[in-house]
Every structure is written in C-alpha cells, then in structure tokens.
Copies of this chain bind each other. A is one copy, B any other.
C-alpha cells in the first residue's frame, strides 16, 4: 500500500540490532539510562551502519514540536535584518534549535507563510518589521492557536503575542526639522520602493518627512532608492543635475544616504555645505563616510529583547500575556548634516 522510501527507519535499525523499535527510540533520544550498555552499543552501531536519521515529520507529529524557530523577513539583504538573523541564530544554537528563514514580499508568500506557521513548521516565530501583507488578523489567529510569536510592529497591539516597537516617527521628524533648522530650503526624500510607488507598508519615515516639509512650507521631492545603493546613487545624481537641486537629502536608509554622499562628492559638491545628508538605520557604515553620516536609529543594533522574548515564550508552560517593549530611537547627529 505504501512503498518504501529507501531511507532506513527505526524498524530497520531495530531489526539489524535485534531489538524492538522502542529500544531504538530510547537509545536515540538519550533515554539511555533505561537501556543496558551493551544493547545501547548494538543499536548505535546499527544506526551508524545504516546511516539512519529519524524522520522529522514522524517525530514532530508524535512529539508535537519541531525544535525549530522561524524568522520571517520582508526582504533579503537589509542590514538590520541580517543582524537580527545573526542574533536569532546564535540564541537558537544555544537552545539547540534550528532556524528557518522565510522571505515574504508579496501577498501569495504571506498567505503561504501563515499557512506554514499554522501547520507548525516551527515551534515559534519572529516577524520582522515591515513585512508587508501580513495582517493582524492572521497573526492573532496564529497566536490564538498557541504559536509563540514576537512581532516587530508599530501598529499592532500585543494580543497573545509580544510586540517590539521602534518609535521611528518622532526621531525622523527631529531629523528633518533639523535640516530646516540649519537653513535648508529644498529637502528631498529618498524612499523605499513601496512608499514611492504608493504601495502600503510602514510609512513613518515618509510621513515624518511630509509633515515636516509641510510645516516648513517646502516642496515635496520624493525619489526611489532606499532599497538599493545603485538606484539611490543614480537618483541623487539625477537630482543634483537639476537647476533647482536640493540642498538636503533625507534618505530612508543609511545605504541610500551613503550613496547620496558619494553622488554629491562625485558631482563636486561639499557635504554638508552644499548638500546635507541624513540617513536612517544607524549602520556602522555611516562611520566611515567622509563626513560621518548623521542618521536616525537606535543607539546600536541590538535585537536581544526580541530574541529573548521568543525563547521565554517557548519555554513558558503557560503563555505570558502579550508584552510590549520599545527600542529607543533618536536622531544621531554626526557631520553630514
């Protein structure tokens, strides 16, 4: 009725070792105390000989857990997520868990991911910020179903899951206001592709910009490029060629801000004299630009709160109520603005 895979099962090991499958299980799951040393050796030898590895699906089906956690991010190659991924991996290693990373950048993948999580592909998950298409209802349902979940979001309320906030808006406002305070008149915004194309997503950076230019009666100049160094460079290069060129740039990412500094220098302009530049993210890379990059972000990239909360939830016998922690964000003035 069911043909064999070719992969050895615990039954094969048991047969070869001349014991029962139960004993194989005991030995391989470390319940070693119950098994005699000699039997134990025979089982181990048989397993080695057959190159046996227990089937994970069967094991999780039975155990009702996977020993895996899942990291859901909105895109690949974003420095802050890379850092989060690194920290989560390290923590997971300590706890003997594996990490699965899933990239969600369209509605189909969002639905698929919710499904995967529902299907208990992992024992818990971290949803990184600005993952689009992942709505509160789906996340609440997931939490209700008992999945430990930590969500980085400024909108969602903790409801069965923990929330990590990053108050970007006031810090960004401070940054843009600063540009006007130092006398800039034409402040351009280099945004994420989604923002620029009018798509949904986290609008705090753009909103802070729009609000500030409006208060200062300045013109709205918005270009694409925060997701890509090359796009940003070309966009700023282009901006600087116009006769009404901006005298300040607020970029939604440090990568774009760095591209802006190069573009200015390559165009023979001085930063910040001719063009003031502010980024967002507080990447280390901002320290090696000339001049050092003024930016908006947390004092340092650190996701320990996020990772700890997940593992606390995983360990908890009865699930803690939804917690809420806030990462401090501020305008970090260096020399580019």
Question: Cβ of A101 and Cβ of B101 under 8 Å apart?
Answer: yes
Beyond contacts A7-B120, A57-B61, A57-B120: 7 other A-B pairs, Cβ-Cβ < 8 A, are: A7-B146, A51-B141, A76-B86, A77-B77, A234-B288, A262-B288, A266-B290
Residue of B nearest to A106 (CB): B93
Question: Cβ of A285 and Cβ of B229 under 8 Å apart?
Answer: yes
Question: Cβ of B55 and Cβ of A61 under 8 Å apart?
Answer: yes
A54 CB-CB contact with B under 8 Å: yes
State how many residues of chain A have any CB contact under 8 Å with chain B. 56
A89 CB-CB contact with B under 8 Å: yes
Q: Which of A109-117, A188-196, A212-220, A245-253 binds B?
A: A109-117
Question: Cβ of A93 and Cβ of B108 under 8 Å apart?
Answer: yes
Residues of A within 8 A of B (CB): 5-7, 51, 53-61, 64, 66, 76-77, 79, 82, 85-86, 89, 93, 98-103, 108-109, 112-113, 115-116, 118-121, 141, 144-146, 229-230, 233-234, 259, 262, 266, 284-285, 287-290
Residues on B with C-beta less than 8 A from A101 are: 100-103
Question: Cβ of B109 and Cβ of A93 under 8 Å apart?
Answer: yes
